[in-house]
Amino acid sequence: MTILPLLLFLLPFHVISQPTTSQNEQNTLLNIKQFWSNPPALNHWNHSSNPCTWPEITCTATTVTGITISNQEITGLVPPFICYLRNLTHLDLNNNYITGSFPTDLYNCTNLRYLDLSQNYFVGRIPDDISRLSQEIRYLSLSSNNFTGDIPVNISRLLKLSSLKLHANLFNGSFPEKIGDLKDLEELLLGFNPFTPSRLPQSFFQLEKLRKFIMTEANLIGDIPGIVSYRIYSLQKIK
Residue 228's pLDDT is what?
47
- Taken in order of first residue, the domains within the chain and their CATH numbers are 63-237 (3.80.10.10)
The full length of the chain comes to: 239
Confidence of residue 3 (pLDDT cuts 50, 70, 90): very low
One-letter amino acid at 143 equals S
Mean pLDDT of 103-123: 98
Q: pTM score, two decimals?
A: 0.87
Alpha carbons 228 and 202: distance in angstroms, whole number: 9
Burial of 39 (0-12, 13-18, 19+ CB in 10 A): middle
